[in-house]
Structure 1
Amino acid sequence: MSIVVDYPTFTNARAHLKDVLDSNARGITVTVGRDEQVSAVVPAERLREYFFRTVSPRVRLMREDGRVIALMDERPFVSEGADIEGALGDLALTLREYADDWEERLQHAPNHSQQWAIVQLVKLSTDDELREWFRRGGE
C-alpha cells in the first residue's frame, strides 16, 4: 500500500500553496511528493505538542558543591546552575547548541542519528516551553 500524496509534485504544491496552508490551519496534514520522497506539511504547534507528550526528557536534578546539576538520563546532556532555574536554563541552551550541531554534522553519526525527535522539539519550542518539558513532558 502506498502513501496517498495530496500534491504529487513540488510545482503542484507551490501552485496551491494557499490551499496547503489553509488545510494545515484546519489541522489537516498535507503531503507533497518530490522525486521519490514524500514530505508532510504539519502544523508546527501540533508537532511540538506531540513531541512534548511522547519524548521523555528524563531530567534528574542533584546538588553538588552548592550548585544544581541537571542531567538527562541515558543522554549526553548535563548542565549546572546556581539554582534549579539556572540549571534548567543552561540545559535548554545546551540542547539548542546540540540541535545546531546535529543538523550540521551529527545526524548521520550512529550514536546521534536517533535524536531527531529531540532536535525537532528543541527547534519548535521556546526556552519556557523547554523548561516546562523538563518538568512535565513525556509519557
Structure 2
Amino acid sequence: MHYESYTQARAHLKDILDAADEGRVATVRRDSGRAAVVDVERLRHYLSLVCPSKAEVVAEAGGWSVFLPGLPLAADGGSFDEAMEEMVQVLREYAEDWQDRLRTAPNHEGNWGLVQLIALSDDAQLRAWLVGAAR
C-alpha cells in the first residue's frame, strides 16, 4: 500500500493503519521523502532482536552496577532491582538527549534503533530487554 501524497494518504488513513496492523507495507510520499507506517509492537519486537542490550551487571561494594558496553550509560543501585530501575531511567534520559541534540553527533547518530526501542517500550519491556542480556 503506497500513497504518493499526504492528501491521498489522509483520505485512506484507515486503510494505512489496517495495513500496518496486519504487518503489510504502508508508505506515504511527502515531497522527496517517504515514510513507513508500521505497527508499534511489531517494530519494537524487531528492534529488540536487532539491538540486543548486551547489558553487564556487576555486584560490587554491597550494591549493583549496570552498564552497556560501548555506550556512555550506567546505573547503580543498592539492590539488583534498584539498579535496573535506575538503568531504565538512564535509558529514557539518553533517548531524550538523543532526540534533542545527540542524533547528529558522530558517536551517537548510529543509535537510532536503540532510541526507537526505548521510546516504543514501557518500563517493564525495557527491564526485560536489559535482564535478557544480563543473565
TM range (shorter): over 0.9
Whether 1:83 and 2:79 are equivalent positions in the alignment is yes
Pairwise CA distance, 1:108: 0.4
Query: Which amino acid in the other structure matches residue 42 of structure 1?
Result: V
Q: Which stretch shifts more, 45-54 or 58-67?
A: 58-67
Whether 1:94 and 2:90 are equivalent positions in the alignment is yes
Output the CA distance in 1 between the equivalents of 2:102 and 2:110.
10
**Structure-2 residue corresponding to 1:116:** 112
TM-score by length of 2: 0.94
Output the CA distance in 1 between the equivalents of 2:125 and 2:24.
24
The ranges of structure 1 where at least 4 consecutive aligned residues each deviate by more than 6 angstroms after the TM superposition are none
Pairwise CA distance, 1:29: 2.1
Output the CA distance in 1 between the equivalents of 2:91 and 2:22.
31
Output the CA distance in 2 between the equivalents of 1:132 and 1:12.
40
Structure 1: tracts of 5 or more residues without a match: none
Output the CA distance in 2 between the equivalents of 1:71 and 1:121.
17
Pairwise CA distance, 1:75: 1.3
2:31 paired residue among 29, 35, 39 = 35
SS of equivalent to 2:43: helix
Output the CA distance in 2 between the equivalents of 1:72 and 1:115.
13
Query: Which amino acid in the other structure matches residue 55 of structure 1?
Result: C
Structure 2: tracts of 5 or more residues without a match: none
Query: Which amino acid in the other structure matches residue 66 of structure 1?
Result: G
TM-score by length of 1: 0.91
Output the CA distance in 1 between the equivalents of 2:10 and 2:129.
35
SS of equivalent to 2:58: strand
How is 1:1-139 mapped onto 2 (pairs within 5 angstroms)? 6-136=2-132
Equivalenced residues, count: 133
Q: Is the 8 A contact 2:64 2:77 kept in 1?
A: yes
Output the CA distance in 1 between the equivalents of 2:35 and 2:17.
14
